[in-house]
Chain A
């Protein structure tokens, strides 16, 4: 498998009140097409990742909508929804469409507009990714991830300070990313003192509500100096936490990453950087452990020691973009943005947040509380 990431583009992430979804999509896709140096008319398929437009904006049918908006009317276009993993799933669908021989060049667009809507409506819509039992019980995703965090703390002695160190690291990385939602560093003290959302998770343990879009152009045409997707894998698990065998790991992440390493033919130690799904601080600890980049139960301490931080990382830098916590989490755009970040890192164009000698990168995108996990491996 060898799919070229020909072009990437994204908007600034944040509270973009002056920008509509059409505007956001236009900026991201135009940038990706320009970056790819491929003519727009060469795009044969469009995959749009989005979760909330139908529920919050009463606008479905996004494939046709954005095809028209982007001046690509007539081109086959699809909407892909998989909660917070929508972006990763859309990238996978784009990859599959090229591997099938149906298309040679496709555009994958992730877009989400969240801040125009009332917070309680956004929270309610996001619970569309949970199980019916969880909704009926009044659970929200902070509450579900708090259960995972508490389980991890009880089994492995992970501390609130270690959870906080994830947010501190990712805000530091985001402070080096001009397109991130939060470009200010934070301290462990600030995290620990922030309002409690769902014990033990505090406000600064949680990723924000964000507007944004990201786009990539995928092609089977080979580019000598390009970045290539060498693995694209998905795994699923029970929709609700009650169906899980363990609350201290996400089995979907383990399965998807194991399949991805086999597909790519690379070992874990070859990975130089990873963008992982840190919707809550505990989620990054679980991701690093479940993909084998640290021993189970020890990653919290390692993060606290700077083992995954730019400049002090021992082996792999995690979430150089700032992750979902620092860069922002526009649901459908997140998985596509991860590919944008890895691509730019492998190209060596990330400036102050550049991971030195980056050659192989991994993107990990999760839907719900682990019901879907998507893992991509890229190399240059």
Chain B
């Protein structure tokens, strides 16, 4: 049995209200909030980036792990805001964690699903018995151009999954992937902000891929939405995950615990991994969770997770040491739009 042995989450403490962003651009805040379903989002501190956020999440996951850092034999960091174009985030994290030198490190980029791509790669190495433990991190200080629609939701956070084949708190029962060349969102090398194709990012992109991956996962696992206790989707805004859950036949009750987007926005590669972490923080053992990420360009990774009795101890440790996702969400300080521009180095 392979799965998640431990996990960590990091949510920057700063928030900006959607209302403040909308007002700065003379938009009607109520219309924007109603359209996107996001009232506030996280803002990185002035000295935070995808590396520091990854490290915080990784350290949390290690603090709840009985083994040594050197037990980690593979470390993948998925992000679309790696500080360096050339110079891996993953080796910086490996060094700071004290992993040593006998490990496979790699940075991943696949828009908002780079983190879950790492989860699948670690799962493959574990299943092949090439490694005993591996860590997959999804982390972003999400970029968005001022006055672009993305500005209301692009957020910052990270989630790290320490995976192994022993003492798993969440077992991975099945996984699959669905990919196509669909240019809905992109950022060319050297360009600061991503571009997107407006409404094209919806039906032929997010919905087609998430639902395509779901169909494959249901077929492979022989499970249907009613067989799951919870579901988690990538959350580019508050509307898409709710709509795709409805289309697939999940109830709002199955979806509700995962909806971190309502409180922190969309931290790109960390979005679905943070959603799963939020669910894992509150569920009891023997619960099945359907998780489907989405990355523009485009693809979706789909997973069937099942919690074990080991999870309860992990939840307790997280609560005492670092705070659950819900507690991290509540630890916040608001900045105004000017502060947001400064802290994201736009001013």
Q: Are B200 and A116 in contact (CB under 8 A)?
A: yes
Q: Could you tell me which residues of chain A, from 148 to 165, have a CB within 8 Å of some CB in chain B?
A: none
The reply on A119 being an interface residue by CB < 8 A is yes
Encode contact with B along A249-284: 1 for CB under 8 Å, 0 otherwise.
Answer: 000000000000000000000000000000000000
Encode contact with A along B196-207: 1 for CB under 8 Å, 0 otherwise.
Answer: 111110011000
Q: Are B28 and A119 in contact (CB under 8 A)?
A: no
Q: Is the interface of B mostly helix, strand, loop or mixed?
A: helix
Q: Are A15 and B28 in contact (CB under 8 A)?
A: no
Chain B contact patch, size range? 10 to 19
Q: Are A17 and B198 in contact (CB under 8 A)?
A: no
C-alpha gap A17/B196 in the complex (Å): 15
Q: Are B204 and A118 in contact (CB under 8 A)?
A: no
Shortest CB–CB separation between residue A198 and chain B, in angstroms?
12
C-alpha gap A196/B22 in the complex (Å): 14
Q: Which residues in A have their C-beta under 8 angstroms from that of B204?
A: 17-18
The reply on A42 being an interface residue by CB < 8 A is no
The reply on B195 being an interface residue by CB < 8 A is yes
Q: Are B31 and A195 in contact (CB under 8 A)?
A: yes
Count A interface residues, CB 8 Å: 10
Centre residue among A117, A195, A196 by max chain B CB count within 10 A: A195
C-alpha gap A116/B196 in the complex (Å): 11
Q: Are B195 and A196 in contact (CB under 8 A)?
A: no
The reply on A115 being an interface residue by CB < 8 A is yes
Q: Are A119 and B31 in contact (CB under 8 A)?
A: no
Q: Could you tell me which residues of chain B, from 153 to 205, have a CB within 8 Å of some CB in chain A?
A: 195-200, 203-204
Residue of A nearest to B198 (CB): A119
C-alpha gap A117/B197 in the complex (Å): 7
C-alpha gap A124/B203 in the complex (Å): 25
Q: Are A115 and B31 in contact (CB under 8 A)?
A: no
Residue of A nearest to B184 (CB): A17
Q: Are B28 and A118 in contact (CB under 8 A)?
A: no
Encode contact with B along A204-228: 1 for CB under 8 Å, 0 otherwise.
Answer: 0000000000000000000000000
Encode contact with B along A193-205: 1 for CB under 8 Å, 0 otherwise.
Answer: 0011000000000
Q: Which residues in B have their C-beta under 8 angstroms from that of A15?
A: 199-200, 203
Q: Could you show 15 A-B contacts with beta carbons less than 8 Å apart?
A: A15-B199, A15-B200, A15-B203, A17-B200, A17-B203, A18-B204, A115-B198, A115-B199, A115-B200, A118-B195, A118-B196, A118-B198, A119-B198, A195-B31, A196-B28
Interface residues of B (CB under 8 A from A): 28, 31, 195-200, 203-204
Interface residues of A (CB under 8 A from B): 15, 17-18, 115-119, 195-196
